[in-house]
Each structure stands twice: as C-alpha cells, then as structure tokens.
Amino acid sequence: MGVFNIIKRSILAGLLALTFAVANFSCAYAAQEEKPVEIVASDQFKIAQLSAGQLIDEYRLSKYDVINVMVVGFPDGIGVNDIMVGPDGYVQLPYAGMVKLAGLNIQEATALISEKLGEYIKIPNLSVMIKTYGPRKIYVMGEVKKPGIYPLAIDSMNVYAAISSAEGVATHGRPKHIQVLRSIGDTMYYKEVNIDAFIKKHDLSQNLALQDGDIVYVPTSNKIDITEDILPLVSLYGVYHNLTN
C-alpha cells in the first residue's frame, strides 16, 4: 500500500503543478487578450477598414429582391410588376433593358430607372416598391459553437443575430474582438466589434448591421478555462482516488 500512496501523491502533485501552471498561463495571457486581431492581406485582396459611409444602416437592394415599378401613364401588362433582381444584381426592364440595381437604395434605384426609361418614353412620375425580400446568408466562422452559413431575416441582419444563430461564442472565443469581413470588388473590408459591450453595456454601435455574404469571424483566445480544462483533471484524480481506496 505504501507504493500506491506514493503513486497517488505523485499524481496529485503532478495535477496540482499542472493546475498552477495553466492558471498562471491563463493570467499571463489575459494581459494580451485585449490586443486587436491582426488582419493580413493576401495576394487576392486589398485590406481596408469599413468606413462610416459603408456602415449606414439603410436598406439597399440585393439579389433575388422582387420589386414593382409604378409609372403613371405606362401601358398595362408590359411587365413592370414582379421584377426580380438577378444573382448578378441586374433587372430586365421594358425598353431600358438590363439595369443594375443591387447595392442601390430605393431613391437611387428610382432615379436610375427614371433616367433609363426617360430615354425612350415620357415619364411624368415613377416609384419603386419592394414586394418581397430575397434571402440573406451570413458566414459565421471561428470560435463559435456551430460554425456555418446561416440565413437571416431582413430585420435581423446584425452581428448579434449571426452569433446567436451559431449558438453563441465558444469557450475559447474572443467576443471583444469579433471581425466582420465584407468583400467589395477586389478589396476585403473589415470592422472589429465588441459584442460583450453590446450585451452588457447596451452599446448599439457594436451590433453592426450586416449585408448578404458578410463573414462574422470570432478569433480564438487560447486562454485556459477552469471549468473545461482544469476541473476534469481534478475529477479524474477523484475517480482514481476512489478506485484505489
């Protein structure tokens, strides 16, 4: 039995030493956790921060939206209703042909259609109305519980809804340094948000409005979690202790 006691004491000492080591590592890493995540450019993309103009929370037409174009004096049955924005962002309009509307707000789309149709017919008045909204999908990656591609309703296009769809930030995620990535042309734009500040301090500016195809990335912290990383070791020793007594 003396040998078993020596083994048990050695195991306990090893577990305690490991516990203190990882705890010290966790404390040391905590000082580094507030550092921002570095975004590195690739050969395919330039990197730039999202500007205030690109963050305006106003609706812009996107692929698969269906619109109605109402024109005073326009002949009936010409097909100005139920016009879908195609996957390339264009719509097919009578007389005007292919017109790109994706990315425009309603006022901009109305002005553009008026200009295009005005080249062929006299338009006293014109308005554009959205009949149905196309599906929106967001990529949620990194340290979340269920990474994947998630459809979001038009009134839920924000970072909090995206993270919630992925069942929240995982244990080793960094909720204070979540990255929103958006590809526009040959440039990858990014913005860092602190979802903790939105949840705990009600800072609405941190719940960034998203667009179709955005990537929400939660980086890893590499920190040690006492519940998941330390307590299982202590429990393992407890099982061993009971089996050997």
Which domain CATH number covers 43? 3.10.560.10
> In the prediction, which pLDDT does 188 show?
80
Looking at the structure, do residues 89 and 175 belong to the same domain, yes or no?
no
Please list the ranges in the chain whose pLDDT falls under 50.
Answer: 6-7, 12, 15-16, 18-20, 22-23, 25-33, 37, 41, 77, 79, 230, 234, 237, 240-241
Please say which residue of 132, 166, 184 terminates a domain: 132
Q: Find the domain containing 85 and state its range.
A: 66-132
Looking at the structure, do residues 173 and 117 belong to the same domain, yes or no?
no
Looking at the structure, do residues 139 and 46 belong to the same domain, yes or no?
yes
Q: What are phi and psi of 23, to 5 degrees?
A: -65, -45
Q: Give the count of domains, the chain.
A: 3
Cα–Cα distance list, 148 to 92, 145, 183, 184 (Å): 33, 10, 18, 21
> In the prediction, which pLDDT does 118 show?
81
- Count the neighbouring beta carbons within 10 Å of the beta carbon of residue 226: 12
- Count the neighbouring beta carbons within 10 Å of the beta carbon of residue 107: 10
Looking at the structure, do residues 125 and 172 belong to the same domain, yes or no?
no
Looking at the structure, do residues 46 and 160 belong to the same domain, yes or no?
yes
Burial class (CB in 10 A: 0-12, 13-18, 19+), 103: middle
Collapsed DSSP state (helix, strand, coil) of residue 112: helix
> In the prediction, which pLDDT does 26 show?
46
Looking at the structure, do residues 47 and 7 belong to the same domain, yes or no?
no
Please say which residue of 94, 109, 132 terminates a domain: 132
CA angle 42, 45, 136 (to 5 degrees): 120
> In the prediction, which pLDDT does 30 show?
46
Q: Are strands 187-193 and 215-218 parallel, antiparallel or unpaired?
A: unpaired
> In the prediction, which pLDDT does 17 show?
53
Nearest to 114 by CA among 70, 84, 75, 79: 70
Looking at the structure, do residues 166 and 195 belong to the same domain, yes or no?
yes
Start-to-end Cα distance in the chain: 10
Looking at the structure, do residues 126 and 149 belong to the same domain, yes or no?
no
Looking at the structure, do residues 102 and 200 belong to the same domain, yes or no?
no
CA angle 25, 30, 36 (to 5 degrees): 130
Looking at the structure, do residues 93 and 204 belong to the same domain, yes or no?
no
> In the prediction, which pLDDT does 117 show?
83
> In the prediction, which pLDDT does 169 show?
95
Looking at the structure, do residues 163 and 51 belong to the same domain, yes or no?
yes
DSSP summary character for residue 95: T
Please say which residue of 115, 132, 149 terminates a domain: 132
- For 94-131, the pLDDT digits (tens) are 888 899 999 899 999 999 998 888 887 777 788 899 99
